[in-house]
């Protein structure tokens, strides 16, 4: 039947299930319906034959079964599946979340950047408008205030003018688009660093939140909340496990438990616990990151203060790197705020999938059922079996690993999410495995057990118990993700083709077209040109060489050739040279000196004037 579940058929089934659920007042997502189709088909109790063609009646039965299970809100199994689908569709690790946030920020700033980088102002008014756009960009990029906050706009404008006055707008306009975008980012970082420094000096920054102080209070609070919820769900898991073990040991006294969905409730709590542990690990990582950022931020601020002190002017190459370092560290605080908000929302939204526990098993009911039953925690179970180890000599064909003899023992990839590989298929419960007992390596996979007896039983026929676990997962589809068994069921129902979501708890194997090209000759050619396969040709060459031994070489010289020899000459190529044919020169022209004699007259009644020229000749100057 799997081969017949084409994409069109799956779409039809999913669409019909969604319509019928909506008619009953229950809105379900396409991903949830796809998961439920898989769960119904895999469940052996529904008697769907995987080897025959899916008929119209089979399709109607499949639709009705899916609708029935999706409308059964009292079943913990449905809550677990919803929880798994929600987590897979919404959870992202640190790198994915921060990269997505950066992508969203770039998308929001793209119109502003485009308006700045692609405009070419000419008038003074256009220049001022463009400068205001840069102020807006810097404010939005830093995330320290709103463009509608006048005080924040004034601070950004003052800081920007100190490093990028309007007189430099002409130079900025002449840059390429790529250079403009890079300079805008640099300006945003510098302005952010300046504003943070001014806030530290109590000269502004009233609209900047104290992120280090907020994080120092919020992260411990979030961690405590996660710890409380984790302890609460672990207590429920311990109680359910104790009741299931008591029912298996004494079925008569606990016969009333048969009608309760204890196993489904246990799987629900265990899945919730697994997700909480992921969030808790992220919260611890955030706490460590914030602590490191605090130390670096204080050191950078102290270095900047010592550099600036009370100087009226300082070179930009000294302080600009410090301002940018402050901006980078502050961005780290902003990222941690985003991550903390994300983790808090995820934890709050996961809480709704655990509400069914209080409805099915109120505290009074659990207290009465647990009378006379010993409840053991996971830590107590592991502690009880710390001294029991597998005797390797009892097994000839099995490989066992122990902490004291195995390198990187804690990094081994344990199957079934660390639960006992024997108790899942045999008892139908999830008991914590104790690696100290011994880890069985079977077909390059590693298995842990809750007791020495379980380890011995499993090691007798591992394939048998592995198949039991698979059958148990078919009956309880939520175990596929809880026990990390996706690889066991990928080939059964290709329902993932029917949905458009990029992430799901039923991820099919990734496929893509690829091609490879092999060089014709990777190694250099090794063809021996002198090789001959024909022995007669070799014989002919041998005779030729033999004849050469009896040959003599003669030479002679003539009168015309004995004086000839090889000659060579060296020619220097023409080089660039220049001459100066003109020079500047100057000379002093003699000052005319002419004197007139007899202008005053004399004893004679007639005046006789004589002109005396005392000007020096030109050749004497």
**Per mean pLDDT, which range of 62-71, 74-83, 202-211, 569-578 is the poorest?**
569-578
What is the per-residue pLDDT across 397-450, written as a single tens digit (0 to 9) for each?
888 988 888 888 878 888 998 999 999 989 889 999 999 899 999 988 999 999
Whole-Å CA distances, 14 to 9, 28, 393, 498:
9, 10, 54, 8
What is the per-residue pLDDT across 222-260, written as a single tens digit (0 to 9) for each?
999 999 999 999 999 999 999 888 888 877 777 666 667
What average pLDDT does this structure show over 531-546? 87
User: SS3 letters for 496-560?
Assistant: HHHCCCCCCCCCCCCCCCCCCCCCCCCCCCCCCCCCCCCHHHHHHHHHHHHHHHCCCCCCCCCCC
pLDDT at residue 578, as a whole number = 75
What is the per-residue pLDDT across 497-520, written as a single tens digit (0 to 9) for each?
333 334 444 444 455 667 777 766
* pLDDT higher than threshold 60 for residue 494: no
Categorize the per-residue pLDDT at 118 as very low, low, confident or very high, splitting at 50, 70 and 90: confident
pLDDT at residue 337, as a whole number = 93
Work out the percent of the chain whose per-residue pLDDT is above 90: 26
Side-chain half-sphere of 329: how many Cα atoms within 13 Å? 22
Contact between 80 and 271 under an 8 Å Cβ cutoff? The reply is yes
Find residue 441's DSSP bridge partners. Answer: 399, 446
Output the average pLDDT for the chain. 83
The residue among 585 and 387 whose pLDDT is bigger is 387
Residue 198, classed as helix, strand or coil, is helix
Nearest-CA neighbor of 220 among 290, 171, 136? 290
What average pLDDT does this structure show over 75-101? 90
Residue corresponding to tokens 């980078």: 328
* pLDDT higher than threshold 90 for residue 551: no
Categorize the per-residue pLDDT at 565 as very low, low, confident or very high, splitting at 50, 70 and 90: low
Q: CA 144 to CA 128: how far, in whole Å?
A: 23
pLDDT at residue 49, as a whole number = 67
What is the per-residue pLDDT across 321-369, written as a single tens digit (0 to 9) for each?
899 999 999 999 999 999 999 999 999 999 999 888 888 888 888 888 8
Whole-Å CA distances, 313 to 161, 163, 316, 327, 413:
15, 12, 9, 21, 60
Whole-Å CA distances, 457 to 69, 248, 312, 532:
35, 18, 81, 70
Q: CA 2 to CA 50: how far, in whole Å?
A: 6
pLDDT at residue 274, as a whole number = 93
Neighbour tally for 379: CB within 10 Å: 11
* pLDDT higher than threshold 80 for residue 600: no
Backbone angles phi, psi at 613, to 5 degrees: -95, 105
Q: CA 64 to CA 70: how far, in whole Å?
A: 10
- Chain Cα centroid distance, residue 554: 83
pLDDT at residue 246, as a whole number = 86
Residue 612, classed as helix, strand or coil, is strand
Categorize the per-residue pLDDT at 214 as very low, low, confident or very high, splitting at 50, 70 and 90: very high
pLDDT at residue 305, as a whole number = 86
pLDDT at residue 5, as a whole number = 54
Whole-Å CA distances, 558 to 489, 554, 555:
97, 14, 10
């Amino acid at each position: 039947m799997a081969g017949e579940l084409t994409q069109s058929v799956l779409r039809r089934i999913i669409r019909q299930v969604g319509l019928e659920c909506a008619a009953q007042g229950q809105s379900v997502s396409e991903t949830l319906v796809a998961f439920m189709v898989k769960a119904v088909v895999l469940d052996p109790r529904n008697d769907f034959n995987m080897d025959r063609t899916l008929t119209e009646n089979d399709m109607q039965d499949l639709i009705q079964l899916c609708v029935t299970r999706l409308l059964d809100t009292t079943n913990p199994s449905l809550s677990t599946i919803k929880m798994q689908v929600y987590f897979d569709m919404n959870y992202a690790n640190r790198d994915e979340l921060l990269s997505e946030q950066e992508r969203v920020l770039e998308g929001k700033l793209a119109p502003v950047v485009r308006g700045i980088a692609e405009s070419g102002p000419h008038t003074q008014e256009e220049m001022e408008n463009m400068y205001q756009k840069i102020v807006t960009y810097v404010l939005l990029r830093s995330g320290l205030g709103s463009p509608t906050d006048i005080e924040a706009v004034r601070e950004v404008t003052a800081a920007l003018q100190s490093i990028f006055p309007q007189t430099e707008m002409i130079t900025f306009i002449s840059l390429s688009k790529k250079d403009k975008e890079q300079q805008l980012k640099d300006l945003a970082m510098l302005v952010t660093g300046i504003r943070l420094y001014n806030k530290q000096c109590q000269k502004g920054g009233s609209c900047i939140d104290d992120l280090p102080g907020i994080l120092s209070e919020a992260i411990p609070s979030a961690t405590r909340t996660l710890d409380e919820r984790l302890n609460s769900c672990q207590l429920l898991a311990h109680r359910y496990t104790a009741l299931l073990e008591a029912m298996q040991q004494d079925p008569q006294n606990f016969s009333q438990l048969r009608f309760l969905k204890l196993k489904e409730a246990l799987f629900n709590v265990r899945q919730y616990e697994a997700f909480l542990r992921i969030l808790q690990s992220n919260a611890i990582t955030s706490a460590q990151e914030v602590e490191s950022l605090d130390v670096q931020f204080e050191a950078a601020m102290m270095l900047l203060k010592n550099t600036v002190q009370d100087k009226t002017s300082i070179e930009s190459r000294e302080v600009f790197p410090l301002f940018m370092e402050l901006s980078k560290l502050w961005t780290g605080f902003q990222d941690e705020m985003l991550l903390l908000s994300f983790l808090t929302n995820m934890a709050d939204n996961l809480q709704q999938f655990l509400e069914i526990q209080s409805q099915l098993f109120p505290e009074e009911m659990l207290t009465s059922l647990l009378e006379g039953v010993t409840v053991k925690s996971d830590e107590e179970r592991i502690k009880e079996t710390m001294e029991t180890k597998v005797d390797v000599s009892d097994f000839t064909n099995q490989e066992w690993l122990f902490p004291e003899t195995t390198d990187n023992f804690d990094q081994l990839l344990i199957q079934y999410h660390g639960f006992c590989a024997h108790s899942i298929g045999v008892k139908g419960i999830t008991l914590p495995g104790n690696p100290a007992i011994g880890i069985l390596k079977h077909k390059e996979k590693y298995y842990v057990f809750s007791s020495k007896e379980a380890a011995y039983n499993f090691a007798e026929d591992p394939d048998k118990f592995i198949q039991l676990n698979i059958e148990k997962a078919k009956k309880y589809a939520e175990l596929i993700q809880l026990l990390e068994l996706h690889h066991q069921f990928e080939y059964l129902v290709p329902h993932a083709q029917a949905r458009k979501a990029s992430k799901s708890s039923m991820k099919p194997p990734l496929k893509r077209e690829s091609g490879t090209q092999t060089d014709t000759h990777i190694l250099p050619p090794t063809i021996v040109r002198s090789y001959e396969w024909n022995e007669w040709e070799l014989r002919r060459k041998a005779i030729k060489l033999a004849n050469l031994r009896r040959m003599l070489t003669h030479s002679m010289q003539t009168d015309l050739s004995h004086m000839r020899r090889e000659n060579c000459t060296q020619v220097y190529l023409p080089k660039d040279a220049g001459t100066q044919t003109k020079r500047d020169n100057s000379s002093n022209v003699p000052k005319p000196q002419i004197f007139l004699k007899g202008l005053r007259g004399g004893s004679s009644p007639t005046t006789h004037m004589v002109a005396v020229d005392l000007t020096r000749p030109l050749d004497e100057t």
